[in-house]
Structure 1
Amino acid sequence: MTIDWHTLNREPGLPGLYAHAATRRKITGTTLPASGLRCWVDVDAKRLAAYRKVCGFTDNSLLPPTYPHILAFALQMQLLTARDFPFPLLGLIHLSNRIRVLRPMGGVGRVRVSVHVQNLQPHAKGATFDLVTTLDDQLGALWEAESQMLCRGVKLEGESVEDVLASTLTLTQVAQWKAPVDIGRQYAKVSGDYNPIHLSAASAKLFGFPSAIAHGLWNKARTLAALADHLPSANIEIAVQFKKPVRLPSEVALLASAAGSSGELQLIGAGDLEHMVGHWRPVA
């Protein structure tokens, strides 16, 4: 796939993008745009510190492995609210997320963020696509990720193929924590992601949820913060699938295999309700 890259001089403003998202409610096609966005972004120390606090990361001089999602969020929003993007942003469901930390992310002050979409596939409930994000610094590729997104109601030719992550190793509980009723609002302040399903029970009910639910990427970030001494700091791929949402407030437990270059994890709630499963391994 050849990508037509557009370079921005500065990060887009989120208020205007949310206004665009609120007015886009219809599916307008079944073809993904072949364009992508790039922009140099500065790491803001205060915002980073606030993110560490909300997600449980200690300050070890490295960017948290999930923090590049925050640096890319405005660019992702602009891409997914553009006229040539065929699906409404509101209502997209985040099914899975895979990140690769290619080099240690220490001393990072300015990075080039790139975002594009690819891999449109039929799904039993609609269609999925990958939102691809990469970070480069002056030395080259630093970090990359794919988020698989589902748009309900899209009809594509072909058979649905779904990857399923499942635990094959013995897992033991390594941590537990509470997801307070306001964690969606806390995470929104540091991430910019003000999706109504995360903010309050009242706003979540407008979209069919009985209560607010935690951001999937907060669940992943909080998990990786708890596993910080468990995982390598670079040359690592961490993939998760989001299962049942974490309703707010909740208490969850993290299970994981032994520390090492490869392993598996599982996030569960009351009654062994499975919220997230995943694995880590060296970058191929």
Structure 2
Amino acid sequence: MTRLWHDLSTTDALAGLYARATRKRKISGDTLPDIGLRCDLEVQPAQLEQYRKLCHFSDDGRLPPTFPHVMAFALQLQLLTDKTFPFPLLGLVHLENRIRVLRPLGGISRLRFSVQVDNLQPHEKGATFDLITDAKDGLGLLWSESSRMLCRGLKLDGEAAVAPTPAPIELTELTRWYADSDIGRRYAKICGDYNPIHLSAASARLFGFPAAIAHGMWSKAMTLAALRSHLPVSNYEIDVSFLKPVRLPSEVILNASPGADTGQLRLDGHGELVHMRGTWRPLD
């Protein structure tokens, strides 16, 4: 596919993007658009400070590895609400997230982001696609992210692929934290992700959830903050699968295998619930 890139001077306002999202309720096609969006975006110091506090990142002079996701959120939303995108934004499910940190994230005030969608595949509950986000500085690619998204109800020919599962290794409890009832609203206020399933029990029930659930990217950010001293400064990737949602409020336990270049993690709840699994490894 030849990508048709649109270069933007700024992203649309979130309020307008959410209004656009609410107007699209039905699947309108079964192919992904060939467009991509690019835009230069600046680090907002106040937002960065609030994000560090919310997700327990210390100020070590580097961006938290999940923070470029926050910077690019409006650009991602603009692509997913574009008239050429065939799926309703509301109702998409975030299944997996992979972040690659190619070089240290220090001394950054501005990044050039690009977003695109690719790799439409059948799934037992519909179809999945990858939302791909890259961030560059003056030296080239610095950071990249791929989010696997599920569109329920879309039928494609072919069989769903089964992802290989890493052989389990012994994990030990690293830390635990309490996800309180308003963490979804506090995350949304800082990061702009106002998906109703995270905001209140009443709004979550409209989409089939008995209670509000924590943002998956908040859980991943909290995990990376806890692993910060065990991960390299750069040249690594960390890949997670979001399993059972974290209902609010609840306590979660992070189990991991820190101390090696390659490791595994598991975010557990009580009653044998597994909310998230993941791995980290050095890049080749």
TM-score normalised per structure 1:
0.98
State the 1:163 CA deviation: 1.5
State the 1:149 CA deviation: 0.2
Where in structure 2 are the equivalents of 1:42-53 lying within 5 Å? Answer: 42-53=42-53
8 Å contact from structure 1 (residues 216, 242) kept in 2:
yes
Q: Which structure 1 segments of 5+ residues have no match?
A: none
Aligned mates of 2:61, 2:139 — CA distance in 1 = 19
State the 1:271 CA deviation: 1.5
State the 1:167 CA deviation: 5.3
Where in structure 1 do 4 or more consecutive aligned residues deviate above 2 Å? 164-167
8 Å contact from structure 2 (residues 227, 258) kept in 1:
no
8 Å contact from structure 1 (residues 165, 278) kept in 2:
no
**Which stretch shows the higher mean deviation, 253-262 or 152-161?**
253-262
Aligned mates of 2:45, 2:258 — CA distance in 1 = 33
- 2:77 counterpart residue number: 77
> How many positions carry a matched residue from both structures?
284
TM-score normalised per structure 2:
0.98
- RMSD (Å), alpha carbons: 0.9
Q: Secondary structure at the match of 2:228?
A: coil
State the 1:110 CA deviation: 0.4
- 2:154 counterpart residue number: 154
State the 1:162 CA deviation: 3.0
Whichever residue aligns with residue 273 of structure 1, its letter is: L
State the 1:164 CA deviation: 4.8
- 1:244 counterpart residue number: 244
Where in structure 2 are the equivalents of 1:103-122 lying within 5 Å? Answer: 103-122=103-122
Whichever residue aligns with residue 23 of structure 2, its letter is: T
Aligned mates of 2:264, 2:201 — CA distance in 1 = 32
- 2:12 counterpart residue number: 12
Whichever residue aligns with residue 274 of structure 2, its letter is: E
Aligned mates of 1:48, 1:6 — CA distance in 2 = 27
Whichever residue aligns with residue 143 of structure 2, its letter is: W
State the 1:258 CA deviation: 2.8
- State the identity as a percent: 61
State the 1:161 CA deviation: 0.7
**Which stretch shows the higher mean deviation, 22-31 or 155-164?**
155-164
Aligned mates of 2:92, 2:100 — CA distance in 1 = 23
Where in structure 2 are the equivalents of 1:1-284 lying within 5 Å? Answer: 1-166=1-166, 168-284=168-284
Aligned mates of 1:54, 1:267 — CA distance in 2 = 18
Q: Which structure 2 segments of 5+ residues have no match?
A: none
